[in-house]
Structure 1
Amino acid sequence: MSTTYSPELVRTAELFEYADVDAAESLERDFEIVHAQRRTVLFREGETADYLYVLLDGKVKLSRRSHDGREGLLALLGPSDQFGEIELLDGGPRVTTATVVSGARLARLHKTALYRWIAQRPHVAEQLLQVVARRIRGNRATVHDRLFTDVPGRVAGQLIQLANQFGVAEDGATRVVHDLTQTELAQFVGASRESVNKVLAQYASRGWVRLENKCIVILDDAPLARRAQHKRRR
């Protein structure tokens, strides 16, 4: 771990979205750069929150366990995504577990540095609340999809989301390297691994996708988008 200055933070982190360059640079120097291997747990649900993170390279998953021990994957984060700030703002324990999915380089900021920065620039608190409000809105949309969309629709929706996050154009198709195991992909959809694999096999047989190891190549996104909009019949 080192405290190397990282100017890319100004360009990527939500924290700096509304900050002027001088204000951003004054905070950037308080970040620590951390390198973490796959399966490294950055923090666990229930722990005291001390740091805010910005993901510079790699992927990190945010998950939560139910009372019966089942794990649900709530988000898959990629470069420029910021996480862990909500608990710093409300003072509560971690509500999720953050685990590295593929080798990651992160910048982390201790809460004392964040509090000092906010105290010096009160308008930043309002801007951070806007960021948190967007997160809450997105979480509500996810809950809505799980309540009112069937498994094929949720699979299609998650493929579209992953393509938007990690997709790379390739010969008229979109290559999406998600780095998730089959179990993790099923947790992300909110369904059993068997049902998700069945849906993916159906989509592959229709020529919509091609399945590869921890990667999905989207060959035709139009039918996936339509399927994602189809709501569950009551």
Structure 2
Amino acid sequence: MERATQGTAQRGTYGIGERQPSRFLGSLSEEAREELLSIGSRRQYPPGAKILVEGAPADCLMLLETGYVKVTRKRTNGHEALIAIRAGGDVVGEMAVIDGAPRSATVTAGEDIDVHVIQRRATQKFLGKYPEATLHIMRLSNCRLQSANSWRIVFGEFPVRVRLARVLAELAENHGESIGSHTLICVELTQSELAALIGSGERAVQHALAGFRDAGVVRTRNREMAVLKPDRLRAIGLLPPIGR
């Protein structure tokens, strides 16, 4: 499929309920950003590579340069549940580096990614020199916590259909690519991952998706998902129209 290069939605960080908060690198001063990028090493990972593992020691911080990653945590039954998506310009593994606790989640490459890796000691030295960076990390952490708390309320107030519409609308906004009048979601998610994101069962997601397809709101094909009627999807999710 040929994809348009113009009108592409900016791909940013995504977590349950987040609406593209400021990317970490973009929030730093030019001086701080250049120094941070000078003290680490650049690595590349293929799709499926686990770049951080839940429970492992916090030995480094990672800056995502290109691509996206999936953030998962283990359930009590041992299965991993998707809790967030992060993309280029974002940071992962930052809190464990600051507080020294083991990794609280596993981070897996969703596609080919470029990552800037900064060891813990170098990170702490950098944060001591640039307090602004520490402040931005704390703000980012607070934003993610507020987002998670907001979604706990949504889980209890709204049915699966509304929650799924919200997630798909935000995925299209934050990780979408315009192709004519449609928006292709540039993140591959299984139905079980969508179910984990919205706190529901997989069968309920299948039923809701079927309804969206029948109504011409979304299209699924060959592991791709496109939003055909964004305003209708947002209305189902009880979200304001785009631009408001």
Counterpart AA for 2:186:
V
The residue number in structure 1 matching 2:113 is 104
Per the TM alignment, residue 86 of structure 1 is displaced from its structure 2 partner at its CA by 1.4
Residue number in structure 1 paired with 2:34 = 25
Say if 1:178 and 1:214, in contact at 8 Å, map to a contact too.
Answer: no
Q: Which amino acid aligns with 1:59?
A: Y
Distance 1:148 1:69, change over 3 A: farther
Q: Which stretch of the first structure deviates more once superposed, 171-180 or 197-206?
A: 171-180
Letter in 2 for 1:22: E
Residue 163 (structure 2) aligns with? 154
Question: Partner of 1:134 in structure 2?
Answer: 143
CA gap of 1:48–1:18, structure 2 versus 1, over 3 A, is same
Structure 1 residues 1-234: aligned runs within 5 Å: 14-229=23-238
For the residues of structure 2 that align with 1:89 and 1:173, how far apart are their CA atoms?
Answer: 42
Rounded to whole Å, the distance in 2 between the matches of 1:123 and 1:205 is: 49
Q: What SS class does the counterpart of residue 112 from structure 2 fall into?
A: strand
1:42-81 per-residue CA deviation (whole Å, 9 max, x = no partner) reads 1221111122112222221001112122322100222222
What secondary structure does 2:237 align onto?
Answer: helix
Q: Is the 8 A contact 1:54 1:83 kept in 2?
A: yes
1:172–1:184 Cα change, 3 Å:
same
Does the aligned pair in 1 maintain the 2:52–2:93 contact within 8 Å? no
Name the CA shift for 1:79/1:49 in 2 (closer, same or farther; >3 Å): same
The aligned counterpart of 1:9 is: none
Residues 70-121 of structure 1, C-alpha deviations (whole Å, 9 max, x = no match): 3221002222222111111222111111111222221121111111112223
Q: Provide the C-alpha distance between the structure 2 equivalents of 1:217 and 1:27, rounded to a whole number of angstroms.
A: 37
Give secondary structure in 2 for the equivalent of 1:102. coil
Does the 8 Å CA contact 2:110/2:187 hold for their aligned counterparts? no
The code of the aligned residue for 1:41 comes to: K
User: TM-score scaled to structure 1, two decimals?
Assistant: 0.85
- In the alignment, the residues of structure 2 paired with residue 168 and residue 118 of structure 1 have an alpha-carbon distance, to the nearest angstrom, of 35
Bigger relative contact order, structure 1 or 2 (CA pairs below 8 A, ≥6 apart): 2
* Cα distance change, pair 68–222 in 1 and its aligned pair in 2 (3 A): same
Identical-residue share of aligned pairs (%): 24
Equivalent pair of 1:63/1:75 in contact (CA under 8 Å): yes
Q: Counterparts of 2:112 and 2:76 in 1: how far apart (Å)?
A: 30
CA distance in 1 between counterparts of 2:91 and 2:134 reads 16
CA distance 1:88–1:169, change in 2 (3 Å): same
Deviation at 1:146, TM superposition (A): 2.1
Cα distance in 1 between the residues matched to 2:73 and 2:221? 27
Unaligned stretches of 5+ residues in structure 1: 1-12
Query: What TM-score does the superposition give when structure 2 sets the normalisation length?
Result: 0.82
CA contact (8 A) 2:26 2:89 kept: no
Ranges in structure 2 where 5+ consecutive residues have no aligned partner: 1-21, 240-244
Distance apart, 1:202 and its partner CA = 0.6
- Rounded to whole Å, the distance in 2 between the matches of 1:139 and 1:81 is 18
Q: Compared with structure 1, are the counterparts of its residues 124 and 178 closer, same or farther at alpha carbon in structure 2 (3 Å cutoff)?
A: closer
